[in-house]
Each structure stands twice: as C-alpha cells, then as structure tokens.
C-alpha cells in the first residue's frame, strides 16, 4: 500500500507516452548512451519475454539473438535513459512469461502474429 506522498512522487516521474505492448511483441527500445560528453541513441530490438513490476518500478526483459547467441536486457520503462519504445509486431502467446524461448534455436523461436480486429465502422442513421 502506498502513501499519498509516494503516489505523488511516482506520478511526477512516470512517462505519459509509453506505448501499450504485451508479452511476445517485437519491440525496438531506443536507449540513450553517454560516450564521454557525447550522447547517442542505441536501438535494441527483440521480443518481450517478461514484464515485471508496476508504476515507476515497471521493467521489461527483451530478448534477441545476436550471432547465434541469445542476449537479454532488462529495461526500466520509466527511466530517463529509455528514449522511446516502438512496437514492431504483435505476438500471439498463451503464457505470462516466455522463458521457454531460452531453450529454442532457429525457426522455433518465431511467434505467431496476433491478429488485431479492425474497429467496426459506425454508419450514422443506421439502426
């Protein structure tokens, strides 16, 4: 249970422009990197395998394959280091955590794409 003061501090620090993404989605995480006095953006793209936490402490584990080696990174969504998150594909999965992808190699790591239903067109005057 949070106090009103804690809730107020969290409301100030949370980002308002975080996109909605689910487990199994292919995302690009744009992260700010400081090299000396220069700042650049590095993109990490992969599959969301494990969201965790809530509020300011919300994190997400993103996994990708680099040179036939699995790489996982944990990102704090509301961190100032995370510039933006883009959803590239939506994956259809039936699990809350996709840790089973760690044991998979090659084509078996692919996930089916979730079909998003288009909104119904409302015709004015038609009942």
Please tell me the total count of domains within the chain: 1
Q: Residues 38-46: what's their mean pLDDT?
A: 95
* pLDDT tens digits, one per residue of 13-22: 888 888 899 9
* pLDDT tens digits, one per residue of 83-105: 999 999 999 999 999 999 999 88
For residue 30, the domain's CATH number is: 2.30.30.790
For the CA atoms of the chain, what is the radius of gyration? 18
Contact 101, 47 (CB under 8 A): yes
The reported pLDDT for the residue numbered 81 is 94
The reported pLDDT for the residue numbered 88 is 93
Containing structural domain, residue 92: 18-101
> Is residue 96 domain-resident?
yes
Record the pTM. Answer: 0.81
Contact 100, 108 (CB under 8 A): no
> Is residue 65 domain-resident?
yes
Beta bridge partners of residue 28, listed in sequence order? 45, 86
> Is residue 90 domain-resident?
yes
Q: What single string gives the DSSP state of each residue in 80-99? A: TTEEEEEEEE-B--S-S--G
């Amino acid at each position: 249970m949070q106090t009103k003061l804690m809730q107020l501090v969290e409301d100030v620090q949370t980002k308002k422009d975080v996109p909605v993404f689910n487990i199994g989605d292919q995302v690009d995480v744009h992260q700010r990197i400081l090299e000396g006095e220069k700042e650049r953006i590095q993109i990490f793209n992969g599959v969301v395998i494990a969201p965790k936490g809530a509020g300011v402490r919300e994190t997400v584990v993103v996994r990708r394959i680099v040179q036939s080696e699995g790489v996982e990174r944990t990102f704090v969504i509301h961190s100032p280091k995370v510039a933006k998150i883009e959803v590239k594909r939506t994956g259809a999965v039936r699990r809350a955590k996709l840790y089973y992808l760690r044991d998979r190699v090659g084509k078996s790591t692919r996930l089916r794409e979730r079909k998003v239903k288009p909104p119904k067109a409302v015709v004015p005057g038609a009942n």
